[in-house]
Amino acid sequence: MDQNVLIFVPINIGRNLDNLLRKEISGVEFITPKSPGEELSLIKAALVEPASAPDVIISLNPELVKQQDMLGACGDYEPVEPLKFPLRSEFNQQFGVSGGYLQPLFLAPLIMIANGELNNPPQGWQDLMERFHGRVIAPAADTPAAMLFKAVAVNDMGKNDFAAELTCSGLPVDVIMSVNSGLFDVGIIPLPFARYNIAKNAKPVYPQEGALVLPQVGLIKRGAGKQAKATLDYLFGANIQRFFSQLGGMVPLRDGIPIPREIEKNNVKLYWQGWDWYRSLFT
């Protein structure tokens, strides 16, 4: 196949989404990395050699946003076209503009889980970083979740000492089990994984400042095939946005689609200060 799309989504919905894409979009090879580390390597290779890059890249990895200036300067990528569907009104100003080359699709919130026997769990990110040095675990360092959390700790909240003592290891499920067993007091995980009650002794904590946010974005190579580009339209369709929200625990950006039940039930805010702020965390 001449057209290809690199896409990596949370493992809890990855297989179902892969089946849907292959069924609905013909003539496209979908490249689905097996791990965040593999995905990051593929993204970096694509940015170094755009000629051999996939037609479309869809990812949560901050590396794409980090390279925003290069995307425009190199001339190898297409500017974002006007959306065919309206964004949620509350997100239009916050997430509607990414700098011209990255199309936001979904938001993956990051929250905490705390050991159920902890007498005084953290109330928010600042509280966590002040009281829980060396007692927090996040997924492996090459995962978007760990990249974002550590970047916020160092470049937004100035908690370098906390970041130096942060343990980054394994997958979100490993983080959950480490907290459940009491090996660590607190874990950092994407919201989708908090909804599965695989550990009776690990309880979700919704930070008072708001959940951290990983935007999932799409990047189109100049001259990309029509079918490959149609993947972005498909992912912004009502059915898929609802699928990501209800099954994946990700916040849909399309207007009229219900947000994940945990966000609504707990009145969870999002900790986000704009695209320039987000980019500055990684540069």
Measured CA to CA, the distance from residue 18 to residue 3 in angstroms comes to: 16
Q: Domain range holding 203?
A: 109-211
> Given this model, what pLDDT does residue 1 score?
56
Measured CA to CA, the distance from residue 264 to residue 283 in angstroms comes to: 33
> Given this model, what pLDDT does residue 88 score?
77
Same domain, 121 and 207: yes
> Given this model, what pLDDT does residue 45 score?
92
Q: Within 10 A of 172 (CB to CB), how many other CB atoms are there?
A: 24
Q: Which of 211, 237, 269 is the last residue of a domain?
A: 211
Same domain, 88 and 155: no
Q: Which of 188, 211, 234 is the last residue of a domain?
A: 211
User: DSSP 3-state assignment of 126?
Assistant: helix
Measured CA to CA, the distance from residue 100 to residue 175 in angstroms comes to: 35
Measured CA to CA, the distance from residue 12 to residue 21 in angstroms comes to: 16
Strand 167-168 with 202-205, pairing: unpaired
Same domain, 102 and 219: yes
Question: Could you tell me which residues come within 8 angstroms of residue 178 by beta carbon, excluding any fewer than 6 positions away?
Answer: 137, 170, 184, 187
Q: At what angle do helices 11-24 and 226-235 cross, to 10 degrees?
A: 130
What tokens were used for 242? 């609802």
Burial 178-207 (b: 16+ CB within 10 A, else e): bbbeeebbbbbbbbbbbeeeebebbbbbbb
Q: What is the count of structural domains for the chain?
A: 2
Same domain, 97 and 115: no
Q: What are phi and psi of 232, to 5 degrees?
A: -65, -45
Same domain, 116 and 73: no
Q: Which of 211, 241, 256 is the last residue of a domain?
A: 211
The whole model's pTM is what?
Answer: 0.91
Give the type of residue at 136.
V
Closest C-alpha among 50, 44, 43, 48 to residue 7:
43
Question: Could you tell me which residues come within 8 angstroms of residue 31 by beta carbon, excluding any fewer than 6 positions away?
Answer: 4, 5, 6, 7, 42, 54
Measured CA to CA, the distance from residue 252 to residue 36 in angstroms comes to: 22
pLDDT string in tens for the chain (283-residue length) = 579 999 987 666 666 777 788 888 888 988 888 888 999 999 999 988 888 899 999 999 999 988 888 887 788 888 887 666 777 777 766 676 555 788 888 899 999 999 999 999 999 999 999 999 999 999 999 999 999 999 999 999 999 999 999 999 999 999 999 999 999 999 999 988 887 656 688 999 999 999 999 999 999 999 998 999 988 888 888 888 998 888 788 899 888 999 988 888 888 889 999 888 999 999 8
> Given this model, what pLDDT does residue 84 score?
67
Domain containing residue 248: CATH number: 3.40.190.10
Same domain, 46 and 185: no
Q: What are phi and psi of 113, to 5 degrees?
A: -125, 145
Residue pair 245/258 in contact (Cβ under 8 Å)? The answer is yes
Same domain, 264 and 196: no
> Given this model, what pLDDT does residue 267 score?
85
Same domain, 145 and 228: no
> Given this model, what pLDDT does residue 72 score?
75
Closest C-alpha among 215, 209, 202 to residue 172:
202
Same domain, 201 and 127: yes
> Given this model, what pLDDT does residue 70 score?
83
